Amino acid sequence: MGKKNVVSIEERIPTLKQERKKKANRRLIFYLSIFFFLISIIVYLQSPLSDVRTIAVSGNSFVSDERVIEQSGIAKGENLWTINETQASRSIKENPVIQNADVNAKLPWTVDISITEFNHVGYVAQNESYFPILGSGDVLKDMEQQTADGNAPLLIGFSDDDYLKEMTQELKNLPESILKLISEIHWQPTDDNERKIKLYMNDGYIVDGTIRDFADNMSVYPSIVSQLDPESKGIIHIGAGAYFEPFTTPDEESSDEEESGSGNDG
């Protein structure tokens, strides 16, 4: 039989002691790391390091950054961990211009506020000035402009707020491609139809219609125009049925164009 290598316990003791020492050191480092991490958190929470230093607002065009921050109730120097994001969002949305507000507190000292505003669907002319109007029917009185930008129609003659709001609701549901084709919308109520409106289009046509179901009825406009001779102008009637009525005389066409021009003057 071959001779077996026998390692005595005395020879192994130094190795065992060294391994135990390494384990103890690793355990000590682990506990010290946790301790200092917890201390760092406590120091951060109790020190100005956790105070809000930056409030960033995005997505707003009608409402200023300062106004959004004011409505949120959040102030620089406030402890980041005391911010109620849900309450701040709810407070911001009390502004009729704002559809949604997303508030997020981010380490180490930033608050991000992302805004979604109601789209403006037109302009109202008052005293030679123009005011954007939202799909909610709210007129932005503090956004006075000297001219309309042409991306949304000018609403004329809507002296009744209820009908104005009803009209804006319809415009809100209208595809943007059609909305941009509308130059002016005149409210022309009659005894038979208080919701009667007349539209002047950027492509030269006139549309006779009604506020009720306007968005649905107006959806056929591009299809109707595509079937017409570009040289033939007239009135497109939309409603229960849709049909085209050419101008019968040059005088009638001239009269309608003059009416449209007077509307643009506000």
**For 13-17, 151-155, 204-208, 252-256, which range has the lowest pLDDT when averaged over its residues?**
252-256
Assess whether pLDDT exceeds 60 at residue 152. yes
CA distances from 145 to 97, 121, 125, 127 (A): 17, 15, 10, 11
* Average model confidence (pLDDT) across the chain: 84
Mean pLDDT over 46-74 rounds to: 88
The pLDDT of residue 47 is 60
Show the beta-strand stretches assigned E in the chain.
54-58, 98-106, 110-117, 120-126, 129-134, 154-156, 182-187, 196-201, 206-210, 234-237, 243-246
Contacts of 253 (CB under 8 A, 6+ apart): 233, 247
Instruction: Assess whether the previous peptide bond of 189 is cis (omega < 30° from 0).
Output: no
Q: What is the pTM of this model?
A: 0.62
Domain ranges for the chain, please list them.
50-117, 120-264
Q: How would you class 2 by CB atoms within 10 Å of its CB: exposed for 0-12, middle for 13-18, buried for 19 or more?
A: exposed
The pLDDT of residue 100 is 94
Question: What is the fold, at CATH topology level, of the domain defined by 120-264?
Answer: Rossmann fold (3.40.50)
**For 31-40, 44-53, 92-101, 152-161, which range has the lowest pLDDT when averaged over its residues?**
44-53
Mean pLDDT over 132-138 rounds to: 85
Does the domain spanning 50-117 belong to CATH 3.40.1160.10? no
Assess whether pLDDT exceeds 50 at residue 266. no
pLDDT band, residue 146 (cuts 50/70/90)? confident
The residue among 25 and 207 whose pLDDT is bigger is: 207
Q: Report the percentage of the chain scoring pLDDT > 90.
A: 48
